[in-house]
Structure 1
C-alpha cells in the first residue's frame, strides 16, 4: 500500500493494464487510485507513464508525486475523472519494459564490480536503455572498462533467475552486503525490506521493477568510464 493505493507494481512487474477506482482527486497533486501498477519512481528508476481510460475518455499520466498518498499526475490538457469513477489503467509498455531491463542490468553491473573489484556504489541515474553508475574505486587497471563489459555480458548470457522477495528489516540486514551503496539510503522507519536476488551473483535491497532473468536484459555496452575525482569512477552504459 501507499496511502490509499494498493501497489500492483510491487506484486507483479508484468502487469500493464488493470481496473481501478478513483479514490480522490487533488487539483494540485493529481489522481489517487485504489489500485495502481504505475511505479512512482525511486532508487534511481524514473516513474512510469501511461493512461487512464474512463467513460470513453483518455487521460494521459505523465508522472507521480508522493505524499500521504500516491498521486498520478495527469497531462495538463486532459480531463480528469471524478472521485468514485471506474477507470482502466494502462502503462506505456515499451518505457516500463526498457526501464526494467536497464534496472536489472545495473544490478548485474554493480554485482560484477563489487565481486571483482570490491567497490560500492556512490550514485547513479537511469533512463530507458541508458544509465550511469558511480563507484567508490580508488584505482582501476587499464582494461577495467573492457573487463567489466565482458563480465557483465557473461552474467547476462548465464540467464540467471531474478527473484524478488520481502524480509523483515532485521533478517534483511543479516544478509552480508545487502546494501550496495556507500551510504545506507534505506529509511530507518521501513520495517519490511524488498530484496532483489540475481541468483548466484548479487543480492540487494531494492524497491524497483525488474525482469525475470538476466537473459531478458539483452546486452550491456559500457560506453565510457570517467574519473570524477579521487576514488570516484563513473561508468556510462547502454542496453541493447
Structure 2
C-alpha cells in the first residue's frame, strides 16, 4: 500500500497539512459503518492525536463527520442525525479548522517537549495523550530536579522562540533508521512490515517517526505552559502541558 493511502482513500492531509477543503467522491455508504471517500483530508487519529471532525457538503445538505474509524478502508463516522450521501455522490469535504489547527500546535508542542527531555535528560517517552490545547507525556525519569516545572517551561519556550522549522520526510525504513534515534518511546511501535517511514523533524531538536499533523515551525506552536508534573510511581513522571489560545 502506498504511504499516502489508506485502503481506497488518498490521504490528502499527509501531502498538505494546511488543506481544509477539497472535492471527492463517495465510494461506500453504510448506515452502520459510515462513509468511505476516494480522497480525504480527515486525519484518522493515531499516535495519541485524536481524529479530525468536520462536514461533507452535497446536494444542498450537510453531513457532519464526528470521527474516523480506520479499518481496511478509512471509514468516516457521520453524525447519527444526518443524512448519508449515496455511493457515487460528488461531495465537498471540510475539516474543522479550529480543532485541527489547535491539534497541530499541540502535537508539535509535544515533539518539542519530547526533544527537550531527550536532549537534557536522555529519557524515553513511556506514554502520552492529547486533546486540542492540552496534552501529557510520561517519561522514565528517576529524579525530578528542584524547580523542574519552571525550568522545563523556560526551555520549551526557548525552543518556540527559536522558530525551528518542522519538516516532514518519507524514507525507506533502513534509511530512516540510519539517521539516528528516530524512536523516542521506550518501545519501538513501528510495524515490522512497514517499508517506508514518515519522519517529523523539529530541525536541530527532535527527529521522530510520526504520522500526525504539525505546524511548520516551533514559533507557530505559541507559548507552552507546563501545568503539572506528577509522580506516578518509581521512575514514572507525567508532564502536563497546555497551549493558551
Partner of 1:43: 47
Partner of 1:127: 131
* Counterpart selection for 2:101 from 97, 101, 108: 97
Instruction: Tell me, in whole angstroms, the C-alpha distance in 1 between the residues paired with 2:17 and 2:128.
Output: 22
Instruction: Tell me, in whole angstroms, the C-alpha distance in 2 between the residues paired with 1:17 and 1:90.
Output: 4
Query: Moved runs in structure 1, 4+ residues, more than 2 A?
Result: none
Q: Kindly report which structure 2 residues correspond to 1:108-119, keeping only aligned pairs within 5 A, or say none.
A: 108-119=112-123
Instruction: Tell me, in whole angstroms, the C-alpha distance in 1 between the residues paired with 2:32 and 2:209.
Output: 33
Partner of 2:221: 217
Partner of 2:230: 226
Instruction: Tell me, in whole angstroms, the C-alpha distance in 2 between the residues paired with 1:26 and 1:123.
Output: 35
Instruction: Tell me, in whole angstroms, the C-alpha distance in 2 between the residues paired with 1:104 and 1:239.
Output: 11
Instruction: Tell me, in whole angstroms, the C-alpha distance in 2 between the residues paired with 1:20 and 1:189.
Output: 30
Q: Per-residue deviation at 1:26? A: 2.7
Instruction: Tell me, in whole angstroms, the C-alpha distance in 1 between the residues paired with 2:231 and 2:171.
Output: 37
What is the TM-score of this pair, normalised by structure 1? Answer: 0.99
What 5-or-longer segments of structure 1 have no aligned partner? none
1:125-178 per-position Cα deviation (integer Å, ceiling 9, x unaligned) = 000000011001111211111111111100000001000010101111112211
Partner of 1:9: 13
1:89-113 per-position Cα deviation (integer Å, ceiling 9, x unaligned) = 0010000000000000000000000
What count of residue pairs does the alignment treat as equivalent? 240
What 5-or-longer segments of structure 2 have no aligned partner? none
Q: Per-residue deviation at 1:200? A: 1.0
Paired residues of 2:56 and 2:93 also in contact (CA < 8 A): yes
Instruction: Tell me, in whole angstroms, the C-alpha distance in 2 between the residues paired with 1:201 and 1:26.
Output: 45
Paired residues of 2:31 and 2:84 also in contact (CA < 8 A): no
